[in-house]
Amino acid sequence: MTASLAYITWTADPIIAHLGPLLLRWYGVLFAAGFVISSFVITDMFKKEDVRPYWVDVLTFYMVVATVLGARLGHVFFYDWPSYSAHPWEILKIWHGGLASHGATIGILLAVYVFSVRNKFDYLWVLDRIVIVVAIAGACIRLGNLMNSEIVGKPTDMPWAFVFPLDTEHLQAPVTPLPPGAALVQRSRLASGEEHTEVLPVGTAPAPTMEMAVPRHPTQIYESLFCVFLFVLLYSLWNKYRARTPRGLLFGLFVVLLFTFRILVEYLKENQVSQETGIIAQYHLNIGQLLSIPFILIGLWVLLRAGKDPKNPYGYAPRDLAEEEAALKVKG
Residue 308 has pLDDT above 70, yes or no: yes
Most confident by average pLDDT, 21-25, 73-77, 102-106, 236-240: 236-240
d(CA 27, CA 11): 15
Residues 6+ apart with CB under 8 A from 239: none
**What is the predicted pLDDT for the residue at 324?**
66
Cα–Cα separations (whole angstroms), residue 101 to 19, 44, 115, 149:
29, 26, 21, 17
Residue 1: pLDDT band (50, 70, 90) is very low
d(CA 112, CA 48): 21
Residue 327: pLDDT band (50, 70, 90) is low
Residue 90: pLDDT band (50, 70, 90) is confident
Residues 6+ apart with CB under 8 A from 103: 70, 71, 72, 73, 74, 75, 77, 78
Strands 15-19 and 195-199: unpaired
Q: Give per-residue burial for 240-267: e unless 16+ CB within 10 Å, then b.
A: eeeeebbbbbbbbbbbbbbbebbbebbe
Q: What is the mean pLDDT of residues 284-297?
A: 90
**What is the predicted pLDDT for the residue at 326?**
59
pLDDT in tens, 133-158: 999 999 999 999 999 999 999 999 99
**What is the predicted pLDDT for the residue at 259?**
97
**What is the predicted pLDDT for the residue at 3?**
46
**What is the predicted pLDDT for the residue at 77?**
81
Contact 175, 212 (CB under 8 A): yes
Closest CA to 48 of 302, 243, 265, 264: 243
Residues 6+ apart with CB under 8 A from 204: 184, 210
Rounded to two decimals, what is the model's pTM? 0.89
Residue 86 has pLDDT above 50, yes or no: yes
Residue 276 has pLDDT above 70, yes or no: no
**What is the predicted pLDDT for the residue at 74?**
82
**What is the predicted pLDDT for the residue at 4?**
45
What does pLDDT average to over the chain?
Answer: 90
d(CA 298, CA 281): 27
Give the whole-number percent of the chain exceeding pLDDT 90.
Answer: 72
Who has greater pLDDT, 246 or 330?
Answer: 246
pLDDT in tens, 186-243: 999 887 778 889 999 988 999 999 999 999 999 999 999 999 999 999 999 999 999 9
Residue 102 has pLDDT above 80, yes or no: yes
Residue 280 has pLDDT above 70, yes or no: no
Residue 281 has pLDDT above 90, yes or no: no
**What is the predicted pLDDT for the residue at 2?**
43
